[in-house]
Amino acid sequence: MLFCHVLQPEDEHPLCLPQVLIESTDVIQLAPTVVSNLPALPFMKQTPRRLLTKTLYKKVQFHLFGKELLFEEMALTWEEWEPFLRSRLVTIRPGLQVEAGRYRCQRCHSNTPEKFGVFPCVRCGKECTYCRHCLMMGRITACTPLFRWIGPPPPLELKVQSTWEGVYSAGQELAAAEIVSSVQSKTELLVWAVCGAGKTEILFPAIEQSLQKGEHVLIATPRTDVVLELAPRLSRSFPGIPVTALHGKSDDKNSYSPFVVATTHQTMRFTEAFDTVIVDEVDAFPYTADEALVQAVNKAKKQDAAVIYLTATPTPELIKRTQHKRLDLAKIPRRFHGHPLPVPRFKWCGPWRKRLKKEQLPAAVSKWCRTKIAEQTPVFLFVSSVAIMEKTTSILQKLDPAICGVHSADKERHEKVKAFREGEIPILITTTILERGVTIPGAEAAVFGAEDSIFTESALVQIAGRVGRSHEQPDGEVLFFHFGKTKAMAAAHKHIKTMNALPFLQKEVTPIGKEEST
């Protein structure tokens, strides 16, 4: 498939069309070529030139608004696309763009050569370059066009009102007000709130106000588990508006709603769609390890959007920005129920890897697990790898066959977490995939092999944050089993004790227009 830049009759500005739609009255400005060879065109005012059926117009508008999608994702023929393209309701741009002699993917922004490959392409009949990095979302090649809606937004008549009837703590109330202020002024804000501070609830006033003004709101988070946890809570709190939940296996990818909760990977589908963007767990893997995900979230927001970052363990980069007055900060060092964070205890367990090879657990670990089973206390047992998880699970299942292990690639992960929440699993052995975003009332937690390098300060703080999250059971045990203390363990211990010593809210907000330059 080849594309051209053409001038329509009585039109001063070119548009991009596939060669198959060229008419005799069109003036070709750039000869037919693969779409990646064509320069980008500015957006121009819509000029209706073809009759559109109401059904087709609504289908394209609701499916494509705020997004950039592949031809295959829309299931339309070129003849059906033609009136949208000629009326400039929809525009085409290359999926891959050549910049400084190398390709850049317009969807995920990858531009390093190792993230591109070559394959025999059916579409153009040649050896064609494609982006490996976002391949799981559909192949983008040098001859792939991306379709973008630039017409008016879909009309919606929705009743936007939060039905949440909870009562804020002092820290929550002040933080919620700061978030509202940031959303109104379209600025950035870091909310540094301890695990269990009630971060989701403090978003409700700002979300409500933004949606009531007809704006679009995105909550982006690095992990599917958090999407699955948040979406039902948001739907219950905002029953008058559909909440679109997007993750790798979701069925909502073709739906439209002004309120979206999505993994950061799924934000690659959007372009300048959202007025308010909330990045939950902003420090979590893989978001912090993949610049393409940061770019995707940035691409999904409008240029003047408000951006709220939420985390219990901010990255050094975010902390540095607040210190240099480049990012406003609201800190909530106390949980919503007012009780302090559980402070982890350290327990030496000897050369545990040697014991595992003999199909045994250290006596301290085995005794602790037996006690929790007897007490009927649900327990997260965190380990450093899938191999250790499998070995530990097989040993502990001799105590109770209902004990399970889980990891990121486990196809039954969500079902196991659900069973754990419902009390069917006494101990859930897990990798760090469940270090955040999962709340189990009354659960306690231990780390087996806490000296492993995968257990960073932030990971250990998040793990401790799984405990004591409810009013009814505001405390509980957090134990780090180790074969040698690490700096990360000491730092996590200090982090938690420091937050426990702070008042309910600290804020460092730079007045708008008064930012210091450094």
Greater pLDDT, 21 or 512 = 21
285 and 355 both lie in a single domain: no
pLDDT at 49: 66
Q: Distance (Å, rounded) from C-alpha 374 to C-alpha 459?
A: 28
90 and 128 both lie in a single domain: yes
pLDDT at 504: 60
pLDDT at 510: 41
103 and 199 both lie in a single domain: no
- Return the beta strands (E) in 150-216 as ranges: 188-193
202 and 251 both lie in a single domain: yes
Tell me the pLDDT tens digit for each residue of 23-67: 999 999 998 999 999 988 888 877 766 778 899 999 999 999 999
The enclosing domain of 356 has a CATH number of: 3.40.50.300
199 and 324 both lie in a single domain: yes
Choose among 346, 353, 342: nearest CA to 450.
Answer: 346
Domains held by the chain: number: 3
Pair of tokens at residue 23: 């008419």
High-pLDDT (> 70) share of the chain, %: 97
Mean pLDDT, rounded, of the chain: 91
SS3 360: coil
SS3 499: helix
Rg, C-alpha atoms of the chain: 26
Q: Is residue 192 part of a domain?
A: yes
108 and 254 both lie in a single domain: no
Check pLDDT > 90 for residue 456: yes
Peptide bond into 113 cis (omega under 30): no
Whole domain around residue 53: which residue ranges?
35-149
357 and 405 both lie in a single domain: yes
Tell me the pLDDT tens digit for each residue of 135-191: 999 999 999 999 999 999 998 888 899 999 988 988 899 999 999 999 999 999 999
Check pLDDT > 60 for residue 372: yes
Greater pLDDT, 194 or 158 = 194
322 and 200 both lie in a single domain: yes
Paired residues of 242 in beta bridges: none
Tell me the pLDDT tens digit for each residue of 283-328: 988 898 889 999 999 999 999 999 999 999 999 999 999 999 999 9
353 and 495 both lie in a single domain: yes
Q: Residue 94: enclosing H or E segment and its boundaries?
A: strand 90-94
> Span 183-211, mean pLDDT?
95
361 and 240 both lie in a single domain: no
384 and 434 both lie in a single domain: yes
329 and 209 both lie in a single domain: yes
Q: Is residue 339 part of a domain?
A: no
High-pLDDT (> 90) share of the chain, %: 77
Q: Is residue 3 part of a domain?
A: no
Instruction: Among 43-57, 242-256, 476-490, 491-505, name the one with the lowest average pLDDT.
Output: 43-57
Side-chain half-sphere exposure of 419, counting CA atoms within 13 A: 15
**14 pLDDT band (50/70/90 cuts)?**
very high
Q: Say what the pTM is.
A: 0.87
Q: Is residue 478 part of a domain?
A: yes
